[in-house]
Amino acid sequence: MSKLKNVLTEDIVLPKGFKACGIAAGLKKKNRKDLALIYSEAPAVMAGTFTTNQVKAATVKLCRKRIKTQSGRAIVINSGNANACTGAAGMLDAERMAQITAEGLGVKENSVFVCSTGRIGVRLPMDVIEKGIRTAVPRVSREGGTDAAEAIMTTDTKIKHCTVRFQVDGKPAVLAAMAKGAGMIEPNMATMLAFLMTDVAIEQDSLQECLSGAVEQSFNRITVDGDRSTNDTVLFMANGQVGNKPLRRSHSDWEAFTHAVHAVTMNLALKMVADGEGATKLVTIKLQGARNSTDADLAARAVANSLLVKTSWAGDYPNWGRIMDALGYSKARVDEERVDIHYDDLPAALNGLAAPTPLEDLKRIQRQKAFTISINLHLGAGEAVVYSCDCTEEYVRINM
């Protein structure tokens, strides 16, 4: 990863053959950008991961249908309305969004993918959408990445994008990505959208395998409020403009590519938690010593999602007792007398009892903008990491 850190930049530089734009179509108030378009001049190999919620937005259903069989030319995304719980009419609206985009760009209708984010249960204002797409199409440009990233935001306070440069077959390649997060965020896909673009050539199966692996380690390990949304979508376009020998596991640059993908998804995932609705602190939960990895996951997520633990982080009192409580009601096996809890490198509890660390030292850690809670259950070799944030009054205000 060290080699890659040098080439990850926080801006967004579109890979060869990609254009984008973001405009204010009128779905959101105050003339805020709310419609984004990503376009590839050449057909792109597609991969995607989607919400596990049984209630799925129309756009998720559409993308799932197309992802395996269709090459992609464009993604059209609106914020301000989720097009979820909108039934057959909502499905027609999603298809119509693809159709208008396809007509404007002169590509096949089924090469257009569609994403929506916003309020559930309200039909899209299709006149506004249609006019917006027609406005957006001629505006796609090589410089439009930032505008697109801005247009997919909902309650995000910061634009989230990044770019990694790497080499494939000795040629320079680019991976660029953007995401939105903020609320309804929970491991196993959040109310989040993320779009990855690269100019390398790669086989579809390999692209999907690489994406799924990276999502599992990043977006599936963050939580803001434990609510999983109806619209979560990650889409990955690879348009082959580098002209490399298509990537697959046996390719000598496979590792460079997968490292780039992992770096990008982790970068965006951590930005999402840090910018969770009302969040002021990024908290990493490192769980070790569980009976097995399933238990490790259950225990880490119980802590990461406990409302009492999360509200305690909003203050400065290191309330490790609430962490013990959450471990105890998790479905993981816990033996109270073996549990160690550290705040960064200082012990708060050892063998389930208060450690002699001065309270002021633990408070200093909890006052930081980012800290790590390490928990060792001392029952086995199971490990898990989950990224969470504090729950503040601002979270409630946003969601009232």
**Binding residues for a second copy, per CB under 8 A?**
52-56, 82, 84-87, 119-122, 183-184, 186, 225-230, 306-308, 311-312, 314-315, 319-322, 324-329, 333-337, 349, 351-354, 391-393, 395-397, 399-400
Q: How far apart are CA 370 and CA 100, in angstroms?
A: 44
DSSP classification of residue 82: -
Burial tier of 393 (Cβ tally within 10 Å: 0-12, 13-18, 19+): exposed
Structure tokens at 196: 């990855």
* Amino acid letter, residue 351: N
What is the closest distance, in whole angstroms, from the C-beta atom of residue 288 to a second copy in the complex? 18
Q: How far apart are CA 273 and CA 10, in angstroms?
A: 16
What is the closest distance, in whole angstroms, from the C-beta atom of residue 315 to a second copy in the complex? 4
Which lies closer to a second copy via its Cβ, residue 255 or residue 336? 336
Reduce the DSSP state of residue 35 to 3 states and report it. Answer: strand
Structure tokens at 264: 């990008």
Nearest CA to 177 out of 66, 47, 65, 58 is that of 47
Which lies closer to a second copy via its Cβ, residue 133 or residue 184? 184
What is the closest distance, in whole angstroms, from the C-beta atom of residue 152 to a second copy in the complex? 19
> 106 in the Ramachandran plot: left (φ > 0), alpha (ψ -120 to 50) or beta?
left
What is the closest distance, in whole angstroms, from the C-beta atom of residue 358 to a second copy in the complex? 15
Which lies closer to a second copy via its Cβ, residue 87 or residue 170? 87
Helices of type H across 72-229: 87-105, 126-136, 145-151, 204-217
Buried/exposed 107-126: b ≥16 CB within 10 Å, e otherwise: beebbbbbbbbbebeeebbe
Which lies closer to a second copy via its Cβ, residue 266 or residue 326? 326
Structure tokens at 168: 């494939």
Which lies closer to a second copy via its Cβ, residue 261 or residue 309? 309
Across the chain, where does the E strand assignment appear? 8-9, 18-23, 35-50, 72-81, 112-119, 160-168, 171-180, 193-198, 233-238, 282-290, 340-343, 346-350, 353-354, 370-376, 382-389
* Per annotation, catalytic residue among 51, 155, 163, 191: 191
What is the closest distance, in whole angstroms, from the C-beta atom of residue 212 to a second copy in the complex? 20
Q: How far apart are CA 60 and CA 45, in angstroms?
A: 18
What is the closest distance, in whole angstroms, from the C-beta atom of residue 33 to a second copy in the complex? 23
What is the closest distance, in whole angstroms, from the C-beta atom of residue 211 to a second copy in the complex? 22
Structure tokens at 127: 């006149």
Q: Angle between the 254-274 and 204-217 helix axes, to the nearest 10 degrees?
A: 40
Which lies closer to a second copy via its Cβ, residue 144 or residue 187? 187
Q: How far apart are CA 277 and CA 52, in angstroms?
A: 22
191 part of the active site? yes
Which lies closer to a second copy via its Cβ, residue 58 or residue 129? 58
Q: How far apart are CA 207 and CA 48, in angstroms?
A: 9
Question: Which positions are catalytic?
Answer: 191
